[in-house]
Amino acid sequence: MTQAPFNTPLSDGPPAVGSRLQEVRKAQKFSLDELSRRAGVSKSMLSEVERNQANPTVAVLWRLSSALGIELTDLLAPGQTAKASPMVERVAAHAIPVTASIDGKCSLRILGPIALAGQVEWYELTVEPGGVLASEAHDAGAREHLSVLSGVLCVQAADSDQTLKAGDSARYPADVQHSIRNPGKTLAKAVLVVEHLTDALATRPHHRQG
């Protein structure tokens, strides 16, 4: 889903994806129009991402990085080099990327591996009272699965909505406008899974070689 925007990074906070994206785009002398066309991402969305006023799903970031010919990790954690993974790979809590809304009421810890971006993504979602995570429609056939761990969350997809308590789950289409909000008076936590149709990947750009 379209998550809340990335804020300016703190010591262990979310990376500045917008400024990094703009830096790479300008270094490669791509206009907003050209990158929009290459990545299949609207110019308005691209502009908002660069200004840290909106942030797309990991899948959309993957499309942008592919169009630029860089690895997605170069946007999320620039400067880090890939290392051979052990059979059991441990990811330290502080190394998990986090997105946060401008008002600070919603945060998403990106739990899924980058390699699965555009197929399936999963997040730990935290929403403070009154917080809303609103999203535009994703690619055709996309679905979301939300399981509430604590607190209360209200899920809305198009004209349908459901209120969930701890232990409840909701499954709904994500190719329509949708949102998750906390109508309660306490912090709410949930696991959010975003499922994309694999057929849609065939039309997406791949990394350039060399």
pLDDT at 16: 60
Is the per-residue pLDDT at 3 higher than 70?
A: no
Nearest to 102 by CA among 3, 182, 20: 3
CA 200 – CA 119 distance, rounded (Å): 9
Is the per-residue pLDDT at 79 higher than 90?
A: no
Task: Kindly give, in sequence order, each residue whose CB lies less than 8 Å from that of residue 191, ignoring residues fewer than 6 positions away.
Answer: 122, 123, 124, 125, 146, 147, 149
Report pLDDT digits (tens) over 179-190: 999 999 999 999
Report pLDDT digits (tens) over 132-146: 998 888 888 999 999
What is the pTM assigned to this prediction?
0.59
Average pLDDT, rounded, for the chain = 79
Q: Which residue has the higher pLDDT, 208 or 48?
A: 48
61 close to 17: Cβ distance less than 8 angstroms: yes
Most confident of 58-62, 77-81, 82-86, 138-142: 138-142
- Going along the chain from its start, the domains and CATH numbers come out as 17-81 (1.10.260.40), 93-198 (2.60.120.10)
SS3 state of residue 33: helix
pLDDT at 153: 98
CA 73 – CA 103 distance, rounded (Å): 26
Is the per-residue pLDDT at 9 higher than 60?
A: no
pLDDT at 191: 97
2 close to 139: Cβ distance less than 8 angstroms: no
Is the per-residue pLDDT at 17 higher than 90?
A: no
Nearest to 174 by CA among 148, 194, 204, 190: 194
CA 19 – CA 34 distance, rounded (Å): 18
